[in-house]
Amino acid sequence: MPRWGMVIDLDRCTACQACTIACRNENNIPFAGPDHASKGRAIFWNQVLPFKEEGEQGYSRIRFTPLPCMHCDRPSCIKVCPVRATYKSEEGIVFQIFARCIGCRLCMCACPYSRRFYNWSKGHWPEIMQSAFNPDVSLRPLGVVEKCTFCVHRWQKAREKARSEDRPIREGEYVTACVQTCPAKARYFGDLDDPESMVSKLARSRRAFRLLEELGTHPKVIYLGEGEWREDI
């Protein structure tokens, strides 16, 4: 059974935001509009956020960090949902059942990474974009919480194909839209439990770390800090 995870190399990321745009198009993420955006109600399943790093002698620099849902192995969001509208699958993906969500937002309070977003309005899309909706992803109604699903519709397609050929999903057959799009090849996706997969090799590298590891959420999004790049790590 695979355990899907992502590796993001911060040394390679150029903060171009291509991953954010790819995620928005792939998952039919609505535009907030100026009123809601000014109140902090814009929805981003993937964000590239700046973090200030303090150095010696007053020296500091900004480090950009892409942030999808961490698909934690011990997710605090699931524990607090009163209607079981969110759960972790056998393959480690944290699902959100939009039709079951009652919009109480307890999961948003419980997520230490702020990776959940509340739908404050009926979705808005410029007219020109409405013909480009992804038919594999449902439009979410007003009043529910949504978040990154590791492009689960892509997993479903890859799984059906693999099942019809009576074999497991091959490496590279299921990747998320952000990973597929990243022009800097800063993002990797695959089975963390396969010792031969690229993500598991990178996750074992000396540069690997997880955000807020001390909380015990066991994120399956792993970051690579500064260091020398080697294809064989």
Per CB under 6 A, residues contacting ligand SF4 are 13-19, 48, 66, 69-72, 75-77, 94, 111, 113, 115-116, 147, 182, 184, 186-187, 217
Q: How far is the CB of 143 from ligand SF4 (least distance, A)?
A: 18
CB of 69 to ligand SF4, least distance (A): 4
Query: In the structure, how many helices (H) and strands (E) does the chain have?
Result: 7, 10
Please identify, using beta-carbon distances, which residue of 52 and 167 lies nearer to ligand SF4.
52
Place of tokens 């935001």: 17
Which is closer to ligand SF4, CB of 140 or CB of 147? 147
* Residue 92: CA count within 13 A, CB half-sphere: 20
Min separation Cβ 80 and ligand SF4, Å: 10
Q: Which is nearer to ligand SF4, 18 or 233 (CB)?
A: 18
DSSP 3-state assignment of 7? strand
* Distance from C-alpha of 39 to C-alpha of 69, rounded to nearest angstrom: 22
**193 CB neighbour count, 10 Å cutoff:** 15
126-164: b or e for each residue (b if 16 or more CB lie within 10 Å)? eeeeeeeeeeebeebeeebbbbbbbbbebbeebbeeeee
Which CB sits closer to ligand SF4, 76 or 121? 76
Cα separations (Å) of 68 from 23, 55, 71, 138? Answer: 10, 27, 9, 19
- Residue 203 Cβ vs ligand SF4, minimum distance, rounded to whole Å: 17
Nearest approach in angstroms of CB 163 to ligand SF4 is 26
- 131 Cβ contact partners less than 8 Å away, ≥ 6 residues apart: none
Which residue lies nearer to ligand SF4 by CB, 45 or 120? 45
Smallest gap from Cβ 184 to ligand SF4, in A, equals: 4
Residue 42 or 80 with smaller CB distance to ligand SF4: 80
Smallest separation, CB 35 to ligand SF4 (Å): 26
Looking at the Cβ atoms of 38 and 147, the one nearer to ligand SF4 is 147
Q: CA of 224: how far to CAs of 28, 43, 117, 186, 209, in Å?
A: 29, 26, 26, 9, 6
Q: Give the residue carrying structure tokens 């899309």.
A: 125
